Amino acid sequence: MNQPIQPGEGAPSDNGRAPTCAVEGAVGAPVPLDGIRGAITGRANLAKHVWFKTGGPADWLFEPADLDDLVLFMERVDRSLPVMALGLGSNLIIRDGGVPGVVVRLGKAFADVALEGETQLVCGAGASGILVASSARDAGIAGLEFLRGIPGTVGGFVRMNGGAYGREVADILVDCQLLMADGDLIRVPAADLRYTYRHSALEDGAIVVSARFRGEPGDPAEIGAEMDRIAQAREASQPLRTKTGGSTFKNPEGHKAWELVDQAGFRGHRHGGAQVSEKHTNFLINTGNATSAELEELGEMIRDKVFAETGVCLEWEIQRVGRPEGAKR
């Protein structure tokens, strides 16, 4: 059964933040500000927060000071206002018309990783895969090395059942802490998420604030060597030093997405400022001046041709959110 949690239990905090709220960029705010300590920005630039470096603004961006601050905000926010969590923005296209409602960005205050027992780590939703894998290595916990190969943060991994190199979050998750749309904190066991390939049963309005991962005892040197192998494999095969968003499409059953894209003739193909990577055809690239619409249109062109030639329907792995350019606000 999902159990309510008191604000602050088992979650990172940032006691060094000033006890005042900064409101920038617009008049008014989505919640009463008394007691809110994080930064609230109206018409906030989201492009700088996502790897593609494209997309329109958020109506509101909230960067909570800590978990208590986030709970208070969610208790006060109008339930009719959409709320979306944002981590590193590594698997995301923000459409050019921006994101309605509130985007909650979980930063350093949610990036702690703590050892629990001999083989478990409690990780804030803002902790990166590299940080979690490195912390596991230092603690002699094996089985989490694959997180070194996933760009992004714990919150996204848990929601999307992130995986790489033969492992996925479903293999290591014990439970996660969720903040629901009404401000309630609950702890949810992994089984309740009903994981499938790159999918979970998490509600859209729920925000992952922390997760507990379990590995097994291991030798730090061997764990480190495996992490190095994964890092080298990524460097050799993926366009890491470009404005990209990770794997574009899920691997269909019995197929590899990159092979289908390649066979359809899209290696290096350009559409405006968007391009299919020459290095790895399941990666889209912003060559410098792409719009989000061009990236999404290129993806849809690929899907249409692959389906016409093979009958295989590629599913987007990259999340696409927000309004198209020119859409009514």
Active centre residues (catalytic): 198, 247, 317
* β-bridge pairing 243-244 and 284-286: antiparallel
Residue type, position 324, single letter:
P
Query: How many angstroms separate the first and last alpha carbons of the chain?
Result: 40
Pairwise CA distance, residues 124 & 261, whole Å:
36
Grouping H, G, I as helix, E, B as strand and the rest as coil, residue 6 is: coil
Q: For the chain, state the CA radius of gyration.
A: 20
Grouping H, G, I as helix, E, B as strand and the rest as coil, residue 131 is: helix
The structure tokens listed for 268 are: 């290096």
28 Cβ contact partners less than 8 Å away, ≥ 6 residues apart = 42
Pairwise CA distance, residues 21 & 33, whole Å:
7
Pairwise CA distance, residues 24 & 60, whole Å:
10
Calculate the alpha carbon distances from 253 to 36, 109, 256, 257, 315 in Å.
Answer: 47, 39, 8, 10, 11
